[in-house]
């Protein structure tokens, strides 16, 4: 069950860092989609929902690893 308390290294940095960068990009994309929908492009709602689901899942993993590293002594390797 080691994998539950280990954050993998990817290209020399904790995977959490990369997830954070992806989250930032997805969040900006989500807001962009929302603004476009308010401006009349309601056909983007499906993409807005799919992107929201990805945001949610990645945010959960990002938070789990982040809190684990800071407060619960997760290993990075
Ligand atoms: C973190 C940012 C956001 C998340 C996670 C998010 C998530 C969602 C989700 C899950 C829905 C679908 C709701 C449903 O199925 O009833 C939705 C709908 C919508 N969102 Fe967002 N959203 C975000 C930001 C924004 C922004 C910044 C705007 C506009 C400026 C926006 C505009 C809309 C609109 C217009 C709808 C359609 C509402 C409807 O007619 O049912 N969203 N959003």
First to last CA, the chain: 15
Q: Is 59's C-beta closer than 6 angstroms to any atom of ligand 1?
A: no
Taking the CA of residue 53 as reference, the ligand 1 atom at the shortest distance is 10
Of 37, 47, 53, 54, which is best to mutate to test ligand 1, by the most ligand atoms within 8 angstroms of its C-beta? 37
Q: CA torsion angle for 19, 25, 26, 27 (degrees, to 10)?
A: 110
pLDDT in tens, 9-57: 999 999 999 999 999 999 999 999 999 999 999 999 999 999 999 999 9
Of 26, 32, 33, 34, which is best to mutate to test ligand 1, by the most ligand atoms within 8 angstroms of its C-beta? 34
pLDDT in tens, 58-73: 999 999 999 999 999 9
């Amino acid at each position: 069950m080691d994998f539950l308390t280990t954050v993998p290294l990817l290209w020399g940095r904790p995977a959490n860092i990369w997830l954070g960068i992806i989250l930032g990009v997805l969040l900006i994309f989500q807001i962009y989609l929302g603004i476009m929908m308010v401006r009349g492009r309601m056909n983007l709602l499906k993409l807005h929902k799919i992107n929201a689901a990805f945001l949610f899942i990645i945010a959960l993993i990002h938070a789990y690893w982040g809190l684990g590293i800071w407060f619960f002594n997760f290993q990075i390797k």
